[in-house]
Amino acid sequence: MHPAKAFFLASIGVGSLSKPTVVDVQPRGRVGASPLMVPIRSIGPRERERVKSHLLALTSGDRYLRFGYAASDEQIGRYVEALDFERDELFGIYNRKLDLIAMAHVAFAPPEQYSDCAEFGVSVAAHARGRGYGARLFERAVVVARNEGVGMLFIHALSENAAMLKIARKAGATVVRSGSESEAHLELPSATLDSRMSEIALAQFAEVDYQIKNRAKQFWSFLASIQEVRSGIRAAREKSAP
């Protein structure tokens, strides 16, 4: 996290925020169902293994669309190890088991180069598609990049990656196609107090949701262990009964 952002977050706090902006999506195959709130949480270096597991679970076709080539397990491993969590921003969507089912990577240009530019990349688990997660992650990336002073957000995608290009076009990005590859860029407005407050509210909402899921997971694991002990005691009693 950039020092300027850290200072800003600490200086205004998050306790006085009103209801955070949330994402409403329809579960796949449930037309007319109640919308779901989808928290998007920042990913830190401690979750490097989760990122790796998510990417390794992608099929060769999905890896091809995400990286522009059919990345091998070794190449994905090197990509994950090279992630710079201090410079870049990564976001994820987690299910109730805390599995990472969708993630985005906003890669900022080095300070000595085009410091007002960043690149967006996204991947969604096969079973979690059709719910608008990619678009929501892109919207979150726009907010963060804008608040970091980025004036141009780029998306480099294969021309056959219709889903990614649709997200870019819908956001108002200019898409230029060159053979099998396409380059999209979106000009971002300057940060405002509203955009900064929105980022903080979204981060707070996602963190609270994650902690609730984490506590629930630990509690169910505890119950499962208790049940296992009880089953063992019951079996021992039955075995020792005359």
Domain of 170, CATH number, reads 3.40.630.30
- Residue 196: count other Cβ atoms within 10 Å of its Cβ: 17
Tell whether 9 is covered by a domain. Answer: no
| Three-state secondary structure readout of 74-117 | HHHHHHHHCCCCCCCEEEEEECCCCCEEEEEEEEECCCCCCCCE
51, 90 contact by CB (below 8 A): yes
Average of per-residue pLDDT across 20-30: 40
Tell whether 128 is covered by a domain. Answer: yes
How does the average pLDDT of the chain come out, rounded? Answer: 76
Q: What is the percentage of the chain residues whose pLDDT exceeds 70? A: 63
Whole-number Cα distances in Å, 239 to 137, 226, 231, 233, 236: 56, 20, 12, 10, 5
Whole-number Cα distances in Å, 50 to 1, 59, 80, 101, 143: 20, 17, 10, 10, 24
Number of separate domains in the chain: 1
Element (H, E) at 188: none
Per residue in 75-125, pLDDT tens?
999 999 999 999 999 999 999 888 999 999 999 987 776 668 899 999 999
Tell whether 46 is covered by a domain. Answer: yes
Tell whether 217 is covered by a domain. Answer: no
Chain position carrying tokens 């906003």 = 106
Per residue in 138-176, pLDDT tens?
988 998 888 888 888 998 888 888 888 888 888 888 888
Tell whether 233 is covered by a domain. Answer: no
For residues 5 and 151, the model is more confident at 151
Tell whether 75 is covered by a domain. Answer: yes
Tell whether 139 is covered by a domain. Answer: yes
Residue type, position 217, single letter = K
Tell whether 231 is covered by a domain. Answer: no
Residue 33 — φ and ψ, nearest 5°? -75, 165
For residue 33, give every residue at least 6 positions away whose Cβ sits within 8 Å of its Cβ, in sequence order, or none.
Answer: 26, 27
Q: What is the pTM of this model?
A: 0.66
Query: What residues make up the domain containing 164?
Result: 20-210
For residues 19 and 68, the model is more confident at 68
Average of per-residue pLDDT across 59-77: 93
85, 45 contact by CB (below 8 A): yes
For residues 235 and 142, the model is more confident at 142
Q: How confident is the model at residue 210 (pLDDT cuts 50, 70, 90)?
A: low
